[in-house]
């Protein structure tokens, strides 16, 4: 079997982290979302919301982190590795805020290729904001649209994960791997 590096993506509050945690519990190799780490590091340096205050710097740090995650996923001994978000997510968020970005972001999206992309739709019943998730549900739906558009731009076939229990969602994802 060829190595599969699989992205779980979706707007904020769609259940990505819960699914990743569930996959870890089942013994799968998973890499967590890194944007919260970057945001917390910036807060330690006195920048309250790095993505809002310095979006390009935030995106560059995120790109470096996601490149490292991808390299680690390639080196991982497991044949299947799940990532909480991929490189195109960065561009989707930049499109969402209307910011321009250097061409190396586009190059990274073309160079780093994933096996499959699972997209989680907006789901108001489970949506919650917190200190790191400042978007409201309407904004979360717009981000979802940008994610869908951006991944399609880079020729990915998106697999939309239906809403349901965490077990049903994980089972759906695993059934799509066969």
Q: What is the DSSP letter of 121?
A: P
pLDDT of res. 129: 62
pLDDT tens figures, 92-138: 999 998 888 899 999 999 999 999 999 999 877 765 665 555 667 68
> What domains sit in the chain, N to C, each tagged with a CATH number?
4-175 (3.40.50.300)
170 Cβ partners below 8 Å, 6+ apart? 19, 22, 23, 26
Average pLDDT over residues 55-73: 93
89: nearest Cα among 51, 40, 127: 51
pLDDT of res. 145: 96
Sheet with 80-84, edge to edge strand ranges: 29-31, 80-84, 4-10, 116-120, 158-160
Look at 34-48, 73-87, 145-159 and tell me which has the smallest mean pLDDT.
Answer: 34-48
Contact 178, 159 (CB under 8 A): no
Q: Confidence class of residue 1 from pLDDT cuts 50, 70 and 90?
A: low
pLDDT of res. 16: 92
pLDDT of res. 139: 82
């Amino acid at each position: 079997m060829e190595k599969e590096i699989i992205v779980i993506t979706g707007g904020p509050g769609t259940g990505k982290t819960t699914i990743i945690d569930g996959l870890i519990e089942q013994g799968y190799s998973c890499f967590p979302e890194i944007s919260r780490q970057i945001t917390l590091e910036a807060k330690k340096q006195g920048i309250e919301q790095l993505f809002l205050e310095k979006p390009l710097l935030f995106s560059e740090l995120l790109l470096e982190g996601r490149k490292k995650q991808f390299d680690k996923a390639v080196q991982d001994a497991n044949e299947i590795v799940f990532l909480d978000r991929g490189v195109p997510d960065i561009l989707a968020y930049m499109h969402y805020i209307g910011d321009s970005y250097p061409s190396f972001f586009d190059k990274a999206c073309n160079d780093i290729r994933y096996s499959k992309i699972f997209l989680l739709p907006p789901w108001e019943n489970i949506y919650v904001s917190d200190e790191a998730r400042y978007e409201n549900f309407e904004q979360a739906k717009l981000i979802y649209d940008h994610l869908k558009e951006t991944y399609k731009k880079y020729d990915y076939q998106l697999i939309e994960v239906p809403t349901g229990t965490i077990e049903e969602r994980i089972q759906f994802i695993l059934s799509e791997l066969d």
